[in-house]
Every structure is written in structure tokens, then in C-alpha cells.
Chains A and B, each alone.
Chain A
Amino acid sequence: MADTRLKTIGELLARQGILIAFAIFLIGFAVFSDRFMTPENLATVIRQAAIIGVMAVGVTVVVIGGNLDLSVGSMLSFSTVLVVDLHDKIGPELAIVVMLGATLVLGAVNGFLVGVARLNSLIVTLGMLSAIQGLTLIYTGGKNVDILDQETTWFAIFGRGYVAGIATPIVMFLGLALFMHVVMAYTPFGRRVYAVGGNPTAAVFSGIRRSRLVFSTYLISALTTGIAALILGSRVMGSQNNVGQGYELLVLAGVILGGTSLLGGSGNILKTVIGVLILGFIQNGLLLMGYPYYAQWLVTWVVIILAVWLDIAAKRGRLLSPIA
């Protein structure tokens, strides 16, 4: 009796480990810093995590489909530079349309190479990372871009504004995550993405158009990157041409922390949100406790590996790998 109960607790731990870790972190930080558990601070953390979070929502879809997207970092640079630069030239409305269009084209190139031409997604998006970074630099000629009229433009709403008293980035992040969660969990499209990521051959035999599906997952990650660029560009009102450098790996860290398997076929958008928030809370909490800024990176190192380790240990039923 006691034995089965222990087992259930173990299973619960394994299945919801990320939630439990999240709770432990929150409680820990709350105990050690009295400034941590204030509504203002929590809002700040979510707001700061919003850019990585929005991107992570799209990348989660790609990873569930069995692929990787390393190009989102330089895509973020590209889109932010584009929207900020065009803002003064053709007005914010058109700038946003053009930027989203251009970002989707980049996503389509990824999608074509991985989905239709069936090339390895890691290498393709690695190549695209470099190519898009180059494109951005060619576009700007190496200079940084700025929005001149920062006070009156309505473009400020994405990064600095509020919707019903809540900061817009938070609304966009959580709204988008909720929307994608519904799409992935309750629509035929979502089910097909899981199917293709889990077992491509079986998916094809059951009549799923794999090429088209993989293609559309890359469109989704490009779109979310474009939305992240809106937030970033509007918040900073300017952009360095390498602003997104390294984001691809932080995004991936959030996705992995959320329990999405890099092999594809499993994962959950809402858990990705928690994964991203954990990274955000680690950063914030350690700072409030007086540790140096970069201590969060050390903790991230440990947390990522522990999270994945416990996950697969639960699946195989033993802690250590059976490799000789």
C-alpha cells in the first residue's frame, strides 16, 4: 500500500517535475528575498521574459514537429532592424506589414529546405543563422538604427504600452501562448504536428502531408519571431544589428526546460511558458539575492541538465543510463 503510494508520488514527480521545480524556485526566492513576491516584480519578470517567451512558443511547435530552428536569433535581429528602420520611412503600419511579410519569407525558406527538400534542420537553420545575420548587416551597412520620433508614435504600444492595465508584452506573450496551446492540443493541425514529430513514416501512411506540415511549423516560428521583434523594437525604439545574437539557444533552453523532447512528438506549449518563466525567475531571483548577474547562467546550466535527466530517468525507470 505504502509502496504503491510512493510509486504514484514518484510518477507524479516525474510527470510534473517542471511544475514542482517551478514551485520550489518561487518559494525559495520568496523566502530569501522579501522583494521577490510582489506583483510589480512578478510583472517585471514576465515582461522581460516575453520576447524569449513569444519566440519559444513558435519554436516549440517546430520542435514538436521533429525539427530544430536555430535561425530565430538572427531572424529576430533582422526583423527588429527592419521594422525600426522602416518605421520612420513608410510609417508604422506599413513597416509592420512589410516586416512580418519579410520574416515569413525567411521562415518559408527554412520550411522549404527542411520540409520539402528534406535537409537536416540543424544544419539548414545553422546556415540560415549565418545568412540572415549577413543579410541584416548588408541591409544596415553595419550601422545601428533608431526611431526618431519616440514620444508620439503609437508603435510604442507593443513594448511600452498597457492593455487594460497589464503591460502589452505580457498580454501578447500569454495570449499567444494560450492560443497556440489550444491550436496544438485541440485542433487536427496540432494533432498532425505531434504525429509527424513522433513517427514520420506512420504519419505519412495515415495520409498526413508531411512536407506541407513541416513547412507551416517554420512559418509559425517565423511569425512568432516577427511578433517578438515588434515587442523588442518598440521597447528599445532602436536596434543594434546583432541584437538577437544568442537568443536561439536561450529560446531552446526554455523549450527544453518545458519538457519538449528534441526528438519530436512530445511537448506542451504551456509547459514551455513555464520553462521560459523559470529562466526569468532564476535571473530575477538571483539578482535580488545579491548574486552577480552571470550566476544565473551557472544555475541555468544545472537546471537544464537536471530537468532533462529527471524526465528521461522517469521514462526509462532508472536514474543512470544503461550505457556501458
Chain B
Amino acid sequence: MADTSKNAFVTWLTRNPIWGFIVLIFAFFSFSNEYFFDLQNFQNILVQTSTIGLIALGMTLVMINGNIDLSVGAVVALAASLAVDLQSWGVFAAWGNWAILPAVAAALASGIVLGALNGFIVWKTGVDAFIVTLGAMIGVRGLVFIYTREESFFAMNFAYSDFGASSVGPLPTLAVLFLLFTVATHLLLSRTVHGRNTYAVGGNRDAAVNAGIRVGPHMMINFMIVGFFAALAGVTLSSQMGAATPNLGRDYELWVITATVLGGTKLTGGAGNIIGTFGGVLAIGILRNGMNLMQVPAFYVLVILGMILIAVLFLDKQLNRRGKQELKT
């Protein structure tokens, strides 16, 4: 009995090696740095990772579908700019603090609309999502630069940046937001028909079509979800800074994909889960935070992160080797 539960644990760990890694680095930083093991610091890690984390939730769905979204970084910048700029428009002058509401709504809508556009193009044209969203990444960034005239926006209403710094009980609001959406997305993926279809479409698209799943609209919905999360990340990021710059979110797509892949989601689709993605996001967050506290220059984090990404890929290949041997050459 004890034996089987141990086996189940080992199996789980070989499927989610990232959590083993988290325990490792968590222990390492706790012992080697006096400031790391601290409630305040844990809150920091959660807030710091919430931006990448929110997007990674959506990216997991899209990647399980067998697609990818490279345009999320540009959407972050667009949503942040809209959220900060619109709330200072004269139309909403009489609204007071309520002016933030339509601004944020517009920002989130922009993410959903761009996600829908990406998804619709993938659905109708059959062009690979990598290419469609690569185009969108360049185009949306151009849109941001034209819209902002290459200038930063600053939130004149302090209620906006107060929100970014506020707390719900012991936890920062942004961390709570991230955790809530993590749970919600986990439930969506593991408990609903849409979630099951997500795996089905990524695992075997033809079989999914034959099983009566409307693959096109299904993929479009997932693109809208990742667009929503990217826009939400833009809003939370700009409320943390009280400002929006047109270069915001640059390279985020790379960080998000790194976190998602660290969490065990396969690029080929059909496999992955939110718990893994959450682990991937945390691993990056703990690593950055811990090394920062140990005063390791940020450059080294980049090198180590790249090596870990490749190592996880290598490990995954060794641990989850399929029965048939690959062709040796």
C-alpha cells in the first residue's frame, strides 16, 4: 500500500519535474539567504510573477490546443496604454474614480478582440498560429507606437496605482487576482467540456473533428482567453507602475512560453496542465527573486534560465521516453 502511493508520487514527479526543482531552489535560497524566507518576500514573488503568470494561464490552453500566441507582449502594451490613457479622457472627467472602469473595460476588450482576430485567422485561413501571431506581434506593436506617438502615459488618478499596491487581507490584490484566475483556469481545463475538448483538439485534430467538436470556434475561444489574460496583465502591470510605456511587455512572449514549457506543456499539443504552468511561473519567480536577493546580477539569471529550459526539455525527453525507440543515426 505504502509502495503504491510512493510509486504514484514518483510518477507524478516525473510528469511534473518542475515541482521537484521548486522544492530544491526554495530550500537552497531559504538556507543561503536570510531575507528569502519571509512572508513579505513571498508576497513580492507572487506579485512579481502575477504578470507573466496570468498570460501563462491562457498560453497553456492555446499550447495544449497545439497553437501558440507570440502577440501577447504587444497586447500587454496596447491594453496598458488604453487603460492609462482612456481614464484621463475629457469624456469621463465627471466620472471621478469611476473613469477607471470604462478604461479598464476597453483595455480588456482590446485583448479579447485581438485574440478573436488571431483565432479567426487561424481558423479560416489554416495558416499556422506561429505565423499568424508573429505577424500580429509585429503589427500590434506598430499599432501601439502609432497610438501612443512613442510616448509614455501616466495615470493622473492615484486611485489607479493605489489599486496596484493594495491588499486583500494579508495578500496583495494582484496576487489574489492571479491565484483566483489560476484556480478558475484549472477548473476550466480539468472539469469542463471545453477543457476536455482542448486536450482532444491538441491530441488529435482529425479525431476531434470526427467526434463532432467544432475545432475552429473552439481554438478561437482559447485565443480570446489568452488575449484577455494578456490584456489583464497589461492592466495590472500599468496599475503597479501608475504608467504605461509603448515598449511594455517586450519579450514577454518568450518568458511566458518558457514558463509554460517549464511546466510541462508540450508544444506539439495535447499535453499540459495549469498546476504545471503555475509551477513553471513560480520557478522563474523564485529564481529571479532569490538570485536578486543574493545580489547576483540579472544577467546570470538569463543564462541560468536558458540552461534550465533546455535541461527541463532534456530531462522530459529522458523521463517520458515513449516505448518505441527513435531512429538512430
Contacts and interface: CB of A to CB of B under 8 A. Distances in A.
22 contacts: A113-B310, A120-B267, A120-B313, A127-B310, A131-B303, A131-B305, A134-B301, A134-B302, A137-B302, A138-B297, A208-B329, A292-B146, A295-B142, A297-B142, A300-B142, A301-B139, A302-B135, A305-B135, A320-B124, A323-B123, A323-B215, A324-B214
Interface in A187-244: 200-201, 204, 208-211
Contacts of B267: 120, 122-123
A300 B302 contact: no
A221 B128 CA distance: 23
A321 B132 CA distance: 14
B143 A134 contact: no
A301 B144 CA distance: 13
A129 B254 contact: yes
Contacts of A117: 314, 317
Interface residues of B, number: 55
A316 B126 contact: yes
A interface secondary structure, majority:
helix
B134 interface: yes
Q: Find the residue from B127, B216, B314 having the highest chain A CB count within 10 A.
A: B127
Contacts of A118: 317, 326
A123 B314 contact: no
A300 B135 contact: yes
B127 A309 contact: yes
Contacts of A312: 125-127
A113 B317 CA distance: 12
Q: Find the residue from A123, A204, A323 having the highest chain B CB count within 10 A.
A: A323
B121 interface: yes
B257 interface: yes
Nearest to B137: A249
A135 interface: yes
Interface in A268-324: 292-298, 300-302, 304-305, 308-309, 312-313, 316, 320-324
A75 B123 CA distance: 35
B130 interface: yes
B258 interface: yes
Interface of A: 113, 117-120, 122-124, 126-135, 137-138, 142, 200-201, 204, 208-211, 245-246, 249-250, 252-253, 256, 262, 292-298, 300-302, 304-305, 308-309, 312-313, 316, 320-324
Contacts of A138: 297, 299-300, 303
Given A295-B142, A302-B139, A126 B124 contact: no
Given A123-B261, A138-B300, A294-B146, A130 B138 contact: no
Nearest to A139: B299
Contact of A201 (B139, B214, B327): B327
B309 interface: yes
Nearest to B141: A297
Contact of B310 (A123, A132, A200, A324): A123
Nearest to A304: B135
B131 A304 contact: yes
Q: Find the residue from B142, B314, B329 having the highest chain A CB count within 10 A.
A: B329
A28 B313 CA distance: 48
Contact of A210 (B209, B254, B304, B329): B329
B213 to A, nearest CB: 8
B307 interface: yes
Nearest to B149: A292
A210 B329 CA distance: 6
Nearest to B209: A324
Interface string B125-163: 111101110111111111101100000000000000000
A252 B304 CA distance: 26
Contacts of A134: 299-306
B127 A298 contact: no
B299 A137 contact: yes
Contacts of B127: 305, 308-309, 312
Contact of A304 (B134, B143, B145, B298): B134
Given A262-B128, A300-B135, 8 more contacts: A117-B314, A123-B257, A134-B306, A138-B297, A200-B327, A297-B141, A309-B125, A320-B125
Contact of B138 (A113, A297, A313, A324): A297
Given A119-B314, A316-B126, A126 B327 contact: no
A323 B313 CA distance: 31
Contacts of A296: 142
Nearest to B128: A262
A253 B297 contact: no
Contact of B139 (A137, A250, A297, A321): A297
B329 A211 contact: yes
